[in-house]
Structure 1
Amino acid sequence: MSADGQPAAPALPAFSEALLDTSLPVPSGVIGPDGKPAPKRFSVYRNNVVVSLVEAIEQTFPAVQRMLGEDYFKALARVFVVGNPPTSPVLMWYGAEFPAFLETFEPLAAYPYLADVARVEWSWLRAYHSEDAMPLSPGELGEVAPDTLGNMTLKIHPAAILVESAWPILSFVAANRFLPDDDMAIDLNDAQSVLITRPDLDVELMLLRPGGVLFLEQLTSGSTLGQAAEAASAEVESFDLSGVLTDFLSAGVFRTFAS
């Protein structure tokens, strides 16, 4: 009881834990207008919270949902929600741990590509809501003297995100999210690394050329253009600097450059 004789409010940790764990009892202090315990009211509230979180996962990972089927995905999302309560009041950022959850969820061990598909979808969300910034244009870089170009460092655009995978993740996302009506053949032996960018209003997904991953990682770590190209060429014989650089500039991967 509180000092004024009214029932004490339930402790917040106990209340939040009971919302997602149906094995826990209704927290003390949850009462109805008549002043008596209200387990039915709490059950309704508990269900609404779980449903809202499941819907948030569904909206963020539509490709994974289509691959698993709506009913299975909904049940899977409920399992995730119970074990991974939100840590932020901003619901659109709920689900960051979902790809790792898929990776360790034993019943889905036969589908190891699902986690990387989810990573692409989570990266899509991050890119969509990332900071607005004017991407570096090909013309700006073209004005740099050729003999100094190799000494340039390039700052990566805040919306540019790389997802590297041993699976055909771009094909999976395209077939199950963006082109669901196309009869697309997918080769599980086709390892794909995807670059997610948002140079303007729309998020774009690009399949990287050979050596593109290492090249971008080198630039991100602060290597000069020349150093990054040398590292990629040494690792990947078919690395095409001109082609990769053209792809990156057209996708708005870079923000600024400096000597």
Structure 2
Amino acid sequence: MSVQARFRAALLDAAAPVPAGLLDGAANPAGRRYAVYRNNVIVSLIEALATAFPLVEKLIGPGTFKRMATIFVRANPPDSPLMMHYGSGLPAFLEGFEPLAHVAYLPDAARLDLGMRRSYHAADSVPLTGATLAAIPQGDLGDARLPLAPATVLIPSNWPLHDIWRYNFETGAPKPRAIPQGVLITRPEFDPAPHALGPADTAWFA
């Protein structure tokens, strides 16, 4: 294993020894400095997850979220320097995370958080107009395809996912009903907006 690989691996494993040969500017062993850096890396990744998954954190509380996130980040370091993409594997991780298995809708909540972030960072697009449709020759209409705007995201769910989101983020929202709800995320202005869909609507849209 290369020096760089040992350095990186030890950052994610609190029980791993400080890689040999690390020196500070005075040529002294840099063990304490490495320990501080290792802690800062984990804390920064946990904070990034908390920012990216506000619904998940709200549902399980900051303390439980931090403990869960610590396990996740040690096993799933970033694979891109763009932190806006970090955490894409959290929904699948939560599906197999036994300590939170009793919160069965949590993976879908993570997918909703992830979908809102993807919609926010998606490319802009030109809205379809009536004039655009009118310009299509009548004989070609049967073969025409209407592409979705890049900011459009569909989250199917067997849980009242939209109601859960509203109850946690909208003042005075009613308690979630015992119904399945998909969520359609659009970005009509600058911020993503989630919309509730019934099972039939979700299947049609998919």
What is the TM-score normalised by the length of structure 2?
0.90
Change (3 A) 1:183 1:170: closer
Change (3 A) 1:41 1:108: same
Amino acid at match of 1:67: L
Q: Which has the larger radius of gyration?
A: 1
1:156 aligns to what SS in structure 2? coil
> Corresponding residue for 1:125?
117
List runs of 5+ in structure 1 lacking aligned partners.
1-9, 218-259
Amino acid at match of 2:175: A
1:23-102 paired onto structure 2 within 5 Å: 23-102=15-94
Matched length: 205
Picking from 200, 204, 226, the partner of 2:193 is: 204
> Corresponding residue for 2:182?
193
List runs of 5+ in structure 2 lacking aligned partners.
none
Amino acid at match of 1:86: P
> Corresponding residue for 1:224?
none
Change (3 A) 1:131 1:113: same
The answer on whether the counterparts of 2:185 and 2:194 sit within 8 Å (CA) in structure 1 is yes
The answer on whether the counterparts of 2:11 and 2:41 sit within 8 Å (CA) in structure 1 is yes
| Per-residue deviation, 1:142 | 7.0
The answer on whether the counterparts of 2:180 and 2:199 sit within 8 Å (CA) in structure 1 is no
**Higher relative contact order structure (alpha carbons within 8 Å, sequence separation ≥ 6):** 1
The answer on whether the counterparts of 2:181 and 2:198 sit within 8 Å (CA) in structure 1 is no
The answer on whether the counterparts of 1:102 and 1:114 sit within 8 Å (CA) in structure 2 is yes
Counterpart CA distance in 2 for 1:138 and 1:106 is 51
Counterpart CA distance in 2 for 1:136 and 1:163 is 23
Counterpart CA distance in 2 for 1:200 and 1:162 is 18
Amino acid at match of 2:76: N
Counterpart CA distance in 1 for 2:130 and 2:158 is 31
Deviation digits for residues 74-122 of structure 1, max 9, x if unmatched? Answer: 1111111111111011112111011111111001111110000110110
Q: Percent identity?
A: 40
| Per-residue deviation, 1:215 | 2.5
Matched, 1:156 2:145: no
> Corresponding residue for 1:214?
203
Amino acid at match of 1:162: L
| Per-residue deviation, 1:206 | 1.2
Counterpart CA distance in 1 for 2:139 and 2:114 is 40
The answer on whether the counterparts of 2:182 and 2:197 sit within 8 Å (CA) in structure 1 is yes
1:30 aligns to what SS in structure 2? coil
1:153 aligns to what SS in structure 2? coil
Counterpart CA distance in 2 for 1:74 and 1:170 is 24
| Per-residue deviation, 1:135 | 2.1
Counterpart CA distance in 2 for 1:94 and 1:205 is 21
2:147 aligns to what SS in structure 1? strand
What is the TM-score normalised by the length of structure 1?
0.73
Counterpart CA distance in 1 for 2:200 and 2:161 is 18
1:119 aligns to what SS in structure 2? helix
1:73 aligns to what SS in structure 2? helix
2:32 aligns to what SS in structure 1? helix
Picking from 182, 193, 212, the partner of 2:172 is: 182
Amino acid at match of 2:89: E
The answer on whether the counterparts of 2:185 and 2:193 sit within 8 Å (CA) in structure 1 is yes
